[in-house]
């Protein structure tokens, strides 16, 4: 949440910052701003998208080779020009951008007011600017030392960047709970709250850890702990390239990412499946396999779409490997004092690897001495680095705020984990081989589903004005129903609920009338006849039933629309069934004129609680 970018080097900073903010916009789009050191300090900030800022700034006044920028997802204070970052001290000498929440900002603010400071904005960040000013004024300390001392007084989380007119050769960054990465170039350095703004400039990066501060000058950088201990930092190579974060002719990232799923799943499976050896190889878990096999219980924690993938994982691991699984919202797990015992293993799932609640679940598992493994997409992300071991999705960058290809890759990784745990234990070699062959066919089957796009567009046209939707599924496809409903509500703002199909009779059936579209996931599996009965019940009450099915005839009699997807093994059906739901949400949202890549109030990565 909130994007931070910084630059120090020999090039004009402003365009590097604006381009960087554009690439970071998926982290927040309430306002955008830049501060450039140019003899003095110039700050330009504006409510709304980066484009609005870019179109209005006076570039002639922003000549300078040191600067910071910010794109905001509002926490404290409404989205407006005044609350936009950067924030400055009262003399306008230095500027700060911040991601996170200063929890004791009210107490700090009151203290500063008694000292004569006045505040322009409603933000917690402005407090930091005045606090640093106060320390520096009273101690005459160098700016980095004043920042360090200020941070020791702060309770909460921050990823922050700061520049000062008095120090035209210094960019300061500090991190606690909100990611920051230094990009190392030739005689130039970059700062980003993730890799997106850095990729086009350099692939050499240094990840800041919590409690670390960096002083970046034109000649190099030094990282210290907040307690002032110098640290040696490893330089890492970024995996992603510029190519992958471009739209390539697609109107929206979300559509591109839906369409990319056959390839992203092939990348996710590459090197992990050996038909010849009849085996699955998960390098990241190689040393943890015995622990997983011996586990009495696996607890999977995640948020949002990743939580839906976790639910599919529960069906997969319990169903195939017969190891008990519990799925928890990371946000609940962290605060309900969960009981973890010897024999428990925690798996966390996160596309970004930065979700604050999921990271807190990692910390809770570690606190209780339980092994914790990660399933992440972003290489080098905090969760990937803080877990004991894990598996990367290799789905490539996901820019659309609504998660699509990350979901399918998460389900694929969980499928591979489940199969690996089941091999030789609950599955014979022959059964395993049948299943593995079915997994390998999935990308091509998704290609077939994607060919239904036009048909699904037609469906979207019919239902685009609906105010409510129900999504019903059973077994492996109950989580898919939840995911379908989430996709629709987050990008089209239509109210939608997902339920296990059989739960319909326990309440939601009261909602059904001719204005209520009900999307059924009706695969020809062990629950098919039951789902069919549920469709009958909806049809009897004049509800519009829409079915996603791998079966024919009888369902067509009952439903207004039937989308037919290819047949696969029951445990793999979520990977196919979710695709028409992603497409339907996408087209409905576009037809309603919604901004699908940047839906209102949302941000790609939720790094605050």
The contact set with ligand M6R (CB under 6 A) reads 303-306, 350-352, 355, 358, 401-403, 490, 602, 605-606
**5 neighbors 20 (Cβ within 8 angstroms):** yes
* Least gap, CB of 425 to ligand M6R (angstroms): 29
* Least gap, CB of 358 to ligand M6R (angstroms): 5
Considering the complex, state which of residue 180 and residue 323 has its C-beta at the smaller distance from ligand M6R.
Answer: 180
Please state the φ and ψ torsions of residue 340, each to the nearest 5 degrees.
Answer: -115, 140
Tell me, rounded to whole angstroms, the distance of Cα 544 from its chain centroid.
33
Active site residue 604: yes
Quickly tell me which residue has 């850095």 as its tokens.
Answer: 198
Quickly tell me which residue has 């982290």 as its tokens.
Answer: 27
* Least gap, CB of 267 to ligand M6R (angstroms): 18
Helix axis angle for 478-492 and 304-316, nearest 10°, is 170
Residue nearest ligand M6R, Cβ-based: 304
* Least gap, CB of 577 to ligand M6R (angstroms): 17
Task: List the structure tokens of 335.
Answer: 């605060």
Task: List the structure tokens of 389.
Answer: 């071991």
**300 neighbors 349 (Cβ within 8 angstroms):** yes
**190 neighbors 5 (Cβ within 8 angstroms):** yes
**481 neighbors 471 (Cβ within 8 angstroms):** yes
**What DSSP state is assigned to residue 3?**
E
Please state the φ and ψ torsions of residue 432, each to the nearest 5 degrees.
Answer: -60, -45
Give the Cα separation of 100 and 124 in Å (integer): 9
* Least gap, CB of 354 to ligand M6R (angstroms): 7
Task: List the structure tokens of 206.
Answer: 């240094």
Considering the complex, state which of residue 160 and residue 376 has its C-beta at the smaller distance from ligand M6R.
Answer: 376
Contacts of 569 (CB under 8 A, 6+ apart): 434, 435, 438
* Least gap, CB of 196 to ligand M6R (angstroms): 14
Please state the φ and ψ torsions of residue 17, each to the nearest 5 degrees.
Answer: -70, -45
If we measure between CA atoms, which residue out of 170, 262, 156 comes closest to residue 218?
Answer: 170
Task: List the structure tokens of 217.
Answer: 């000058």
**98 neighbors 160 (Cβ within 8 angstroms):** yes
* Least gap, CB of 308 to ligand M6R (angstroms): 8
From the number of C-beta atoms within 10 Å of its C-beta (0-12, 13-18, 19+), residue 287 rates as exposed
Tell me, rounded to whole angstroms, the distance of Cα 477 from its chain centroid.
22
Task: List the structure tokens of 477.
Answer: 């496809």
* Least gap, CB of 402 to ligand M6R (angstroms): 4
Considering the complex, state which of residue 377 and residue 573 has its C-beta at the smaller distance from ligand M6R.
Answer: 377
Could you tell me whether strands 273-274 and 236-237 are parallel, antiparallel, or unpaired per DSSP bridges? unpaired
Active site residue 2: yes
Peptide bond preceding 284: is omega within 30 degrees of 0, i.e. cis?
Answer: no
For 419-482, give the DSSP string: HHHHBTTTB-HHHHHHHHHHHHTHHHHHHHHHTTHHHHHHHHHHHTT-SEEEEEE-GGGHHHHH
Task: List the structure tokens of 502.
Answer: 């059989």
* Least gap, CB of 348 to ligand M6R (angstroms): 8
From the number of C-beta atoms within 10 Å of its C-beta (0-12, 13-18, 19+), residue 139 rates as exposed
Considering the complex, state which of residue 129 and residue 327 has its C-beta at the smaller distance from ligand M6R.
Answer: 327
Task: List the structure tokens of 232.
Answer: 């040696």
Give the Cα separation of 463 and 518 in Å (integer): 11
* Least gap, CB of 149 to ligand M6R (angstroms): 33
**Which of the following is catalytic: 176, 256, 445, 604?**
604
Task: List the structure tokens of 295.
Answer: 């586990």
**What DSSP state is assigned to residue 91?**
T
* Least gap, CB of 335 to ligand M6R (angstroms): 17
Considering the complex, state which of residue 402 and residue 411 has its C-beta at the smaller distance from ligand M6R.
Answer: 402
**Which of the following is catalytic: 2, 303, 559, 594?**
2
Give the Cα separation of 540 and 520 in Å (integer): 15
Considering the complex, state which of residue 418 and residue 606 has its C-beta at the smaller distance from ligand M6R.
Answer: 606
Contacts of 601 (CB under 8 A, 6+ apart): none
Considering the complex, state which of residue 351 and residue 408 has its C-beta at the smaller distance from ligand M6R.
Answer: 351
Q: Which residues are catalytic?
A: 2, 604
């Amino acid at each position: 949440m909130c994007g931070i970018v910084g630059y120090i080097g020999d090039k004009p900073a402003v365009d590097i910052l604006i381009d960087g903010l554009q690439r970071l916009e998926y982290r927040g789009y309430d306002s955008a701003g830049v501060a450039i050191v140019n003899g003095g300090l110039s700050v330009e900030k504006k409510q709304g998208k980066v484009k609005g800022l870019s179109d209005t700034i006076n570039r002639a006044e922003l000549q300078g080779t040191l600067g910071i920028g910010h794109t905001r997802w509002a926490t404290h204070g409404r989205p407006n020009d005044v609350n936009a970052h950067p924030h400055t001290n009262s003399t306008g000498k230095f500027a700060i951008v911040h991601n996170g929440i200063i929890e004791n900002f009210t107490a700090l603010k009151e203290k500063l007011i008694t000292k004569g400071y006045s505040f322009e904005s409603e933000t917690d960040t402005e407090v930091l600017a005045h606090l640093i000013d106060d320390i520096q004024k009273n101690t005459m300390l160098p700016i980095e030392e004043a920042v360090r001392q200020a941070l020791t007084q702060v309770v909460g989380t921050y990823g922050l960047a700061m520049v000062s007119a008095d120090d035209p050769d210094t960019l300061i960054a500090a991190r606690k709970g909100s990611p920051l990465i230094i990009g190392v170039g030739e005689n130039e350095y970059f700062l980003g709250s993730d890799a997106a703004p850095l990729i086009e400039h350099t692939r050499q990066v240094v990840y800041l850890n919590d409690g670390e501060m960096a002083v970046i000058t034109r000649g190099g950088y030094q990282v210290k702990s907040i307690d002032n201990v110098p640290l040696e930092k490893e330089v890492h190579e970024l995996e992603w390239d510029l190519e992958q974060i471009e739209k390539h002719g697609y109107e929206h990232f979300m559509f591109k990412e839906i369409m990319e799923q056959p390839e992203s799943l092939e990348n996710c499976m590459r090197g992990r499946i050996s038909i010849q050896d009849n085996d699955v190889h998960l390098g990241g878990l190689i040393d943890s396999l015995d622990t997983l096999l011996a586990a009495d219980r696996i607890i999977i924690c995640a948020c949002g779409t990743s939580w839906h993938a976790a639910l599919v994982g529960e069906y997969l691991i319990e169903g195939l490997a017969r190891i008990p699984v519990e799925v928890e919202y990371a946000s609940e797990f962290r605060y309900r004092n969960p009981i973890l015992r010897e024999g428990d293993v925690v798996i966390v799932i996160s596309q970004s690897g930065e979700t604050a609640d999921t990271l807190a679940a990692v910390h809770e598992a570690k606190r209780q001495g339980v092994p914790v493994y990660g399933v992440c997409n972003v290489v080098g992300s905090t969760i990937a680095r803080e877990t004991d071991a894990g598996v990367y999705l290799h789905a490539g960058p996901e820019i659309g705020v609504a998660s699509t290809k990350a979901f399918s890759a998460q389900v694929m990784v969980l499928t591979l984990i489940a199969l690996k745990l089941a091999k030789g234990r609950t599955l014979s070699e022959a059964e395993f081989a049948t299943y593995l062959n079915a997994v390998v066919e999935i990308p091509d089957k998704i290609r077939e589903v994607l060919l239904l796009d036009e048909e699904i567009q037609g469906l979207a046209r019919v239902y685009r004005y609906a105010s409510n939707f129900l999504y019903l599924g059973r077994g492996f496809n109950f989580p898919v129903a939840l995911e379908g409903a989430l996709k629709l509500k987050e990008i089209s703002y239509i109210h939608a609920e997902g339920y296990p199909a059989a739960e319909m009779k326990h309440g939601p059936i009261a909602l059904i009338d001719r204005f209520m579209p009900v999307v059924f996931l009706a695969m020809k599996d062990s629950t098919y006849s039951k789902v069919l009965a549920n469709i009958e019940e909806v049809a009897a009450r004049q509800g519009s039933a829409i079915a996603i099915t791998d079966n024919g005839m009888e369902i067509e009699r009952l439903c207004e629309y039937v989308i037919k997807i290819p047949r696969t093994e029951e445990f793999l059906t979520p990977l196919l069934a979710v695709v028409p739901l992603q497409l339907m949400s996408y087209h409905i949202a576009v037809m309603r004129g919604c901004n699908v890549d940047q839906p209102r109030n949302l941000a790609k990565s939720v790094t605050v609680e």
